[in-house]
Structure 1
């Protein structure tokens, strides 16, 4: 089971003020983030996998979000820029935090330590979903695909929230069903290898991944990027607090799906 570390709770008035200030500052600063929210962060250990079945980065650069932002698995694999008292860090959403209200995130210990003191347990933060984050080529884990077990797929390194994953069949493209555990499931029936998937995200980027093998238990690396023009990743080292940061980055042209910006 996940182990969540809550050392103490900040006074309600302090949290409210910090949240309001954080949202205002995030709006003023701008950048590559699709939306900004202010609230709190704590730290925890996601174990081996997390609810999203993506695994966890070894440097602790991951996060669990509440049900509204998790959005039944749509938040899996997206990235947040989280700013705390000591700077900003980027984390991948790999888990569900069932007890987290809107504006609350649980961070991996490594990520938390880069923006705040571990001894604090809970810190005020502002965070934002990053559009087109810089990620490597897509990777895919496949299971099943036999007459007795439907094909399932887990996709990583997509960066943005996915809208559809489709399987190429002799009769055309078949849509896979997305589950809360971030697994995409094909219609029943055997699948011929090699497998080809068509992957689309919420912003209209689309890519075909070919040559995927069946009968493997690991993520298969590809050479396919879902999109180009990645945004730069912030440094893991401490940076100035938001009130002293200046940015000339252009505003994001459109907002993310409402399920990922429920409290922005």
Structure 2
């Protein structure tokens, strides 16, 4: 996949990392609230897509996380607020970092430069998942759906970890299965346009997206959002930017939603 192109060298990395104070900050992914060691960040180039098949946000505002936090793809499309020596930046999770232990993340070069010196190569950070980040309408990329290839979907602009994606069929909504590469696969069988999907995240937000067509290779824009009610973000959050391959840009934090939803974890 040629995912990692590190552009730095760090002398005595072992000594440096040993000096970083572990800060418990873990994120909520896949419906479980836990606290994990946060501690350090390096920078790299994700290439065109990253493991999540979302493309890479402009200005390098993206991140790769270790296997535990990646959670088999459930972290894909979520956002992290990362604080380093020089401030805080918001990044989208678009990739897996196979070699990253708990608390170690890789940032796009642009994101790293906003919170630390590139010459440092690796910096101490704290970070956490952003609940209900303000993003645009949902985007969907469909492939397959023929007698020989099951329908697969990649979703963007959902903000929170997704819990279910379902395909509408003549007999009702059929669940799709998420893979590690962030593709949701429907049961075998041909699908006809227009396609309708029902989408839900781990906080109970739900939306139905209709009118999707088979054939387009890129993300299809929709007029449907998964949640709403934005509130101001911290002043040091980055401003929204355009995204390659129609991926969403970092944006301000939104309100937590209905009070019946589970509270955010307190670590």
* TM-score bin (small chain): 0.7 to 0.9
Gaps of 5+ in 2: 27-33, 240-254
**CA offset at residue 235 of structure 1?**
2.8
Question: Is 1:218 aligned to 2:218, yes or no?
Answer: yes
Match of 1:4 in 2: 6
| Per-residue deviation, residues 165-209 of structure 1 (Å, max 9, x unmatched) | 000011000000100000000001011110000000000000000
How has the CA–CA distance of structure 1 residues 92 and 232 changed in structure 2, closer, same or farther, with 3 Å as cutoff? farther
Match of 2:129 in 1: 129
Match of 1:82 in 2: 82
Match of 2:248 in 1: none
**CA offset at residue 14 of structure 1?**
1.4
| Per-residue deviation, residues 128-161 of structure 1 (Å, max 9, x unmatched) | 0000001110000000111111100000000000
SS at match of 2:19: helix
**CA offset at residue 37 of structure 1?**
5.1
Match of 2:247 in 1: none
SS at match of 1:217: coil
**Greater RCO (Cα-Cα under 8 Å, separation 6 or more):** 1
**CA offset at residue 226 of structure 1?**
0.2
Question: Is 1:186 aligned to 2:186, yes or no?
Answer: yes
- Whether the 8 Å contact between 1:132 and 1:227 is mirrored in structure 2 is yes
- Whether the 8 Å contact between 2:203 and 2:262 is mirrored in structure 1 is no
Structure 2: how far apart are the matches of 1:48 and 1:127?
Answer: 25
**CA offset at residue 229 of structure 1?**
1.8
How has the CA–CA distance of structure 1 residues 141 and 186 changed in structure 2, closer, same or farther, with 3 Å as cutoff? same
Structure 2: how far apart are the matches of 1:96 and 1:58?
Answer: 18
Q: How does the TM-score come out when normalised to structure 1?
A: 0.83
**CA offset at residue 231 of structure 1?**
4.4
Q: Which 4+ runs in 1 deviate beyond 4 A? A: 34-37
**CA offset at residue 59 of structure 1?**
1.0
Q: How does the TM-score come out when normalised to structure 2?
A: 0.82
**CA offset at residue 215 of structure 1?**
0.9
Match of 1:99 in 2: 99
SS at match of 1:94: strand
Gaps of 5+ in 1: 27-33, 238-248
Greater CA drift, 73-82 or 34-43: 34-43
Structure 1: how far apart are the matches of 2:209 and 2:137?
Answer: 10
- Whether the 8 Å contact between 1:145 and 1:191 is mirrored in structure 2 is yes
Kindly report which structure 2 residues correspond to 1:132-147, keeping only aligned pairs within 5 A, or say none.
132-147=132-147
SS at match of 1:132: coil
Q: More helix by proportion, 1 or 2? A: 1
SS at match of 2:48: coil
- Whether the 8 Å contact between 2:8 and 2:119 is mirrored in structure 1 is no
How has the CA–CA distance of structure 1 residues 227 and 87 changed in structure 2, closer, same or farther, with 3 Å as cutoff? same
Kindly report which structure 2 residues correspond to 1:1-264, keeping only aligned pairs within 5 A, or say none.
1-2=2-3, 3-8=5-10, 9=13, 10-15=15-20, 17=21, 19-20=22-23, 23=24, 38-233=38-233, 234-236=236-238, 254-255=263-264
Count of residues in correspondence between the two structures = 234
Structure 2: how far apart are the matches of 1:47 and 1:191?
Answer: 32
Structure 2: how far apart are the matches of 1:172 and 1:78?
Answer: 29
How has the CA–CA distance of structure 1 residues 35 and 132 changed in structure 2, closer, same or farther, with 3 Å as cutoff? farther
